[in-house]
Structures are given as C-alpha cells and as structure tokens.
Amino acid sequence: MLGLLGMAALAPAWAATHTATPDTRSGRHIMPPVHPRTAPCDIPAPLTAAQLRVLAARTAATPPTVLPAPRPAAQVLPTAAAEAGCDGPGRFAFVRLRQWAADTRIQGGHATRRIVVFEQRHWRADDGSGRETSLCYPPDPHPTTDDTYPAGTLDGAIGPIAGTPAALAAQITSISPPFLGAPAVLDAIASLTRWRTPDRDARTAILTLLRHTPRLTYHPAVRDRAGRVGVGISATSDHGALRGLLILHPTTGEILAYERAHFPPPQDHRSPTGQVEDYLLFTAHTRTSTTHTP
C-alpha cells in the first residue's frame, strides 16, 4: 500500500550550505539566509518520463535524513515568518511537488517493497475546485493522470490554511486528533500544504503552533533532497519507531520537504538503519489565475 501522503516535485540545488550560528544574547540558533540559484518564485519545468525514471533509479534506496543534534523547538523557533514567500494574487493555490512513496505488496505470503516516485502539480481554489496532474515511475496501468475537480470536491470542509494559531489548530485536529501525538501534527501540516499555499499569516500561525506543540525538536541546517538547507522540526512516536520531519525555509517559514521514516527495533546492539515511508519535496508554493501553469 502506498504511503498516506500525497505526491511531490524536485527543485534546483541551492547554491551553498549554511551553518547555524548561536545568538549569544538569546541562546537561539539563527539560520542565515540561503540563496537559490534561481529566483525564489521561479517554477521549474516538470520532469519528463525519462527524467523521472532516472531519478527513481538513483534515489530509490535513499535512507532517512541524518539530523544534527536537537534542541526543544519551543526554545528556538521564530515567532513569525520574517520574509514574504511566493503567495501572490491569483484564484488558485498552485503547488508543485514530488513524492517518494513506499509501496508494499503481499503475494503468496511474501512481502515485497518498492519505491514509487510521483511528479505532481496541484491547483486549488478556495471553493474546493481545482486540477491535478500526475506522472509516476515505475508506471502503473495509468502512469499519467490529469483530473479536474468541481467546486466542493477538494477537501470541502477545510478552506485555505488558517492565519491564526487557534483556527489552524482546529484544522489540524480535524485531520489528526490530538491522541495521535506530535508526529501526526507534522503529518497534518504537510498534508494541508500539498494543495494549499500558506500566506505569511498562515506560515506564522504554523510556526506558532509548532512552538506550542509538546515533544517537537529543532535541528539546524538540514538539507532536503533538492540540496536546499533549512531548519528541521522532528517528532518521534512513543516507542521511537516512527519519525516525522518537516524542513522549513529559515526566513519565510515555507515548507520545503516532509519525511516520514520507520526505524525497526535494533538487533545485535546495532543502530537501526530505518526506511523512508514517504518523502514530499515541494518545489513551488504560489498562486495563479489559471489551472494551466507550466
């Protein structure tokens, strides 16, 4: 069965890795701005089927992200999105993303596991209408899709991402009830941003919600699968078997990537290697006036 999250897309590598530096006055780690080789709101061209096949072959066995030493997120997360993102005017939120999803199949009493890579584009209007295009490898009987949705059919009960912490918490609770714990909060935020472009108020609300969610940890200078360096926010399940990881742009608060990984119990006193169940890589969060954005 494929992972629960939606599908994702790759952006150009960012120019350089930046290391977090301590702020001696506040005790916080401050990430300096990172500078992409292209303008931050440029939308990269979608991959062709041949390019997606090469990417899948090269990255199928990628292990979970290795994280720097953690600190409690409440101590170091900023209180607001410091810079504007790409949330300009336009009827449709536009999201380009790529997903690496674990596909486990059981046949004849034996389980087989493969990684399926999806390239997707999502358009969503506030009335719940929109469009989705998708390309996957290895291909299933329908390797490419192009679906249009009438009003009210795309998560009709949840509109745009809320711009206040209280309203955002209600949206998160409707997706992931509190008893599911901190990893489910990260999962729900990633799920919301699959189809929605959070504006600056919404990104600030996300940061505030994360600051007040218990058992989250902060990791400076975490690199995503596009080579971009951001800050990591992680949470693990009670027994440490499941880890969720959000990677955020250090100044805009944009969601760059989300990883859900499984770590089996260690054997023979060796550290578990872990496997990635889902990895979302976001290459565009903006707004457009039409569902024909390249």
Output the CA–CA distances (angstroms, integers) from residue 276 to 107, 204, 230, in the order listed. Answer: 22, 28, 19
**Which run of H or of E encompasses 168?**
helix 165-175
Residues 85, 285 contacting (CB under 8 angstroms): yes
- pLDDT for residue 267: 67
Flag whether pLDDT at 27 surpasses 80. Answer: no
Flag whether pLDDT at 249 surpasses 70. Answer: yes
- pLDDT for residue 294: 75
- pLDDT for residue 144: 92
pLDDT digits (tens, 9 = 90+) for 198-217: 999 999 999 999 999 999 99
Flag whether pLDDT at 227 surpasses 80. Answer: yes
> What Rg, from alpha-carbon coordinates, does the chain have?
19
What is d(CA 282, CA 95) in angstroms, rounded to the nearest whole number?
7
Residues 205, 164 contacting (CB under 8 angstroms): yes
Residue positions counted in the chain: 294
Share above pLDDT 70 across residues of the chain, in percent, rounded to a whole number: 81
Pick from 286, 282, 291: nearest CA to 120:
282
pLDDT digits (tens, 9 = 90+) for 132-141: 999 999 987 7
- pLDDT for residue 271: 60
Residues 8, 279 contacting (CB under 8 angstroms): yes
User: Which comes out higher in pLDDT, residue 265 or 65?
Assistant: 65
pLDDT, the chain, mean: 82
Identity (one letter) of the amino acid at 92? F
Mean pLDDT of 131-152: 91
What value, to the nearest 5°, has the Cα angle with vertex 172 and ends 64 and 174? Answer: 120
Query: Tokens 């500078």 identify what position?
Result: 35
Mean pLDDT of 274-282: 94
What is d(CA 48, CA 161) in angstroms, rounded to the nearest whole number?
31
Flag whether pLDDT at 12 surpasses 70. Answer: no
